[in-house]
Structure 1
Amino acid sequence: MSTRRTFLAGAAASATGLLAAPALAQNLVEWRMVTAWPRDLPGAGVGAQRLADRIGLLTQGQLTVKLYAAGELVPGQQNMASVMAGDVEMSHDMSAYYIAQSPALAFFSSIPFGLIAQEQDAWIYAGGGKALWDELNARFGVRAFSAGNTGARLGGWFRKEINTVDDLKGLRFRVGGLAGQALSKLGVVQALLPGSQILPKFKSGELDAAEFMGPVNDIAFGFQAEAKFCYWPGFQEPCAGLQLQVNRAKFDALPVTHRIAIEVACAEENARAQAEYNARAPAAIAQAVTQQGVMLKQFPADVFKAFGSASGQVLSEIIDTGDDLTKRIAASYLAFRQQTLLWTRIGDEGYANMRLLDYTYPKAG
């Protein structure tokens, strides 16, 4: 190559490099993520920040996400409305928070006596749930992705013992969503409060019982200081699927690599959050029992059966009064639930029960 041609080639390369930097800078995007959690809440709050950071890393800084914790930018339960309007681009929360928009949204978080965490993931990822979720959310102009799960819930923190169904009557219970509707049929007075307000209401005597997000978060809020009876198992949300919901138009306008990065980051956080909650729950429960004198008690069978029947009534009402899409979502969910009952019973549940038998096995320490 001649000296002149070499010079021209080099000049062209230099020009390309000079043009690339500002062009790249022009493509930088900053999105806002609002959440339903305090900023440093163990599990969900920390996980939301982890998710935001991961999206930035996966897009090599081309899409950065600035997180605003509960109440910092959007008040109360207005996250979904803000995402729908495009006032913010995304929200980390639970679809069940928005049953006023459609009761069918609860199926993609958890319903009373519904699927456990691994079953929920199986339905959404491989059992037809995601397509139905997308169809439902299209009505609201959003997309949603599974982005965490708290796993099993406690039955609740109570000031007094629950021995019969009659003990529930008049009980002022902080419990959300469809479970609150079910308990109302049994005489419970439902209270809807964010986690940060539950302990003050306990202290003032305005609450008799509460549940929030399982042992890791419940104990972080200090419920065990005021309510010394902790009942299990939780029926209200056998798991609690967290979501990242995104404004649909803004999501569709992103480069395909950014859209994939968001989906990958959500899937990663979905797995990591479940692992974190499962890892931290045993120590949280042990702390409440051994250090703060909490009494762990199992719900009596008759009480739990009453929970089941009341929950069934609420679900039947949703199906009977729901539109075609709600009925199709419920049919898909319930069919999957029915199919997975046997496998969970003989697989995980069967093994877990047999593992409790007396046999020789090494112990820690």
Structure 2
Amino acid sequence: MSTRRRFLAGAAAVTASALAAPALAQNLIEWRMVTAWPKGLAGAGTGAQRLADRIGVLTQGQLTIRLYAAGELVPVDQNMTAVMSGDAEMSHDMSAYYISKSPAFAFFSAIPFGLMAQEFNAWIYAGGGRGLWDELGERFGIRAYAAGNTGARLGGWFRKEINTVEDLRGLRFRIGGLAGQALAKLGVNQVLMPGSQILPKLQSGDLDAAEFMGPVNDLSFGFQNAAKFCYWPGFQEPCAALQLQVNSAKFDALPTTHKVAIEVACTEENTRSLAEYNARSPIAIAQAVTEQGVMLKQFPDEVFKAFGTASGEVLSEMIDNGDDLTKRIAASYFAFRQATLLWTRIGDQGYTNMRLLDYNYPKGG
């Protein structure tokens, strides 16, 4: 090839490359994900970052997600509003945070005495919950996916023992949502505040009790240093499903491959998050008891039954005052709960009860 021909061929290649670069850049999308979690919060916070990174990998870098910790881009209580307006394309938090917009959002996060994590997933993926969630989201211009779960919660951290229902009266208890409304019927003063503010209030005596996110996160905030009575089980959130909310219009404009990538990444994170919490929670609570002097106590039956009755009253009131969609979501949720009680009893509960019998078995370690 002559020098002139080599020069022209090289020039053509450079021109083609220059033209291709803008065309490729036009396919690159960067979205913002606001979250409800402090930067680096174990479990929920690190899971949100893992989810964002996974979406980038699955789209081969075509859709990248920039994550913002709680309050970095918008106030935490404005996350859903930001997604609805398009000021952020995504949020990672809990559906129950938005019951002021519709009480039906509670069903896609946690209901007192409601579904456990595996039951919740069954309802969402195979029991009709997915379609109802989509219908609810359409009202607000959002689409949501299950994108994590903390599993079972502790009953709470208390500065004094709880032996009777009367012991609850007057307690200043940091507890959110419907569970807080239920406890108010038993004379508890419901207090709302972010996790970072709980320990100072327990230490000063401005709070008598608190619940947050279970052993992993509760211990990282140091609640055990100010409230030595840790009660179980947690009635307020038998599971705490985390969600990814996406602006519907922007989601609909994505290529199909990107839409599938978001759904696949959420499903994966839903599994990995629960696995992480289930792996770390037993270690955390064991250390609290053996190394930090925490007294682990079970709620008396009388107290727990009172929790159940009060929760039933709150839920019945919510349904009675709800619109048609809230009533239909509630009907589906509670029917699924009722139907799954037998299988859970003879399956998971039956096995775990028998596993506690005394017999020789390897203990590892």
Show the counterpart of 1:32: 32
2:278 maps to 278
**Is this contact kept in 1: 2:155–2:232, CA < 8 A?**
yes
- Residue 331 of structure 1 aligns with which residue? 331
* CA–CA separation in structure 2 for the residues paired with 1:136 and 1:212: 26
- Write the distance in 1 (CA, Å) between the matches of 2:256 and 2:289: 50
Looking at structure 2, the residues matched to 240 and 13 of structure 1 have their Cα atoms a distance apart, in angstroms, of: 55
Deviation of the 1:149 alpha carbon: 0.1
Match of 2:233 in 1: 233
1:258 maps to 258
SS in structure 2 opposite 1:78? helix
Report the counterpart of residue 269 of structure 2 in structure 1: 269
Q: Deviations over 1:27-80 (max 9, x none)?
A: 111100000001111100000011111111111111110000001111131100
CA distance in 2, matches of 1:300, 1:134: 40
Are 1:293 and 2:280 matched, yes or no? no
CA deviation map 1:181-200 (0-9, x unaligned): 00000000000111101001
Q: How does 1:1-365 map to 2 (within 5 A)?
A: 19-365=19-365
1:11 shift after superposition: 10
Distance 2:213 2:197 in 1: 14
CA distance in 1, matches of 2:289, 2:236: 22
Aligned-pair CA distance for 1:363:
1.9
Structure-1 separation of matches of 2:277 and 2:135 = 30
Question: Structure 2: which amino acid aligns with 1:89?
Answer: E
Counterparts of 2:344 and 2:311, CA distance in 1: 21
In the alignment, the residues of structure 1 paired with residue 161 and residue 211 of structure 2 have an alpha-carbon distance, to the nearest angstrom, of 15
CA positional deviation for 1:178: 0.4
The alpha-carbon deviation at position 142 of structure 1 amounts to: 0.4
CA distance in 1, matches of 2:257, 2:230: 46
What SS class does the counterpart of residue 60 from structure 1 fall into?
coil
Q: Equivalent residue for 1:6?
A: none
One-letter amino acid of the structure 2 residue matched with residue 265 of structure 1:
A
SS of alignment partner, residue 81 of structure 1: helix
Counterparts of 2:134 and 2:358, CA distance in 1: 48
Q: Separation in 1 of the partners of 2:315 and 2:363?
A: 44
| One-letter amino acid of the structure 1 residue matched with residue 171 of structure 2 | L
How far does residue 22 in structure 1 lie from its aligned partner after superposition? 2.3
Q: Please state whether the residue corresponding to 1:287 is helix, strand or coil.
A: helix
Separation in 2, partners of 1:86, 1:262: 17
Return the offset for 1:361.
1.4
Letter aligned with residue 283 of structure 2: A
Matched AA of 1:204 = S
Alpha-carbon distance between aligned partners in 2 of 1:26 and 1:48, rounded to the nearest angstrom = 26
Deviation digits for residues 196-221 of structure 1 (CA, Å, limit 9, x no counterpart): 01001111211000000111111111
Percent pairwise identity: 80
Alignment size in residue pairs: 358
User: 1:26 Cα shift?
Assistant: 1.2
Counterpart amino acid of 2:128?
G
Instruction: Determine helix, strand or coil for the equivalent of 2:77.
Output: coil
* 1:14 Cα offset (Å): 8.6
Question: 2: distance between equivalents of 1:336 and 1:41?
Answer: 33
1:19 Cα deviation after fit: 4.0
Shift of 1:15: 7.2
Could you tell me how far apart the structure 1 residues matched to 2:345 and 2:209 are?
A: 31
In the alignment, is the contact (CA less than 8 A) between 2:173 and 2:189 conserved in 1? yes
Give, in whole Å, the separation in 1 of the partners of 2:257 and 2:17. Answer: 22
Q: Contact 2:212/2:218 (CA < 8 Å) preserved in 1?
A: yes
Question: Is the CA contact 2:35–2:76 (under 8 Å) kept in the aligned structure 1?
Answer: no
Counterpart amino acid of residue 159 in structure 2: R
In the TM superposition, what is the alpha-carbon distance from 1:10 to its structure 2 partner?
12
Cα distance in 1 for residues equivalent to 2:13 and 2:135: 48
TM-score if structure 2 supplies the norm length? Answer: 0.95
Residue 5 of structure 2 corresponds to none
What's the CA shift for 1:24? Answer: 1.3
d(CA) in 2 for partners of 1:145, 1:170? 38
The CA RMSD measured in Å over matched residues stands at 1.6
Q: Provide structure 1 residue ranges, at least 5 long, that are not aligned to the other structure.
A: 1-8
Match for 2:346: what amino acid? Answer: I
1: CA distance between counterparts of 2:174 and 2:197? Answer: 10
- 1:273: how far off? 0.1
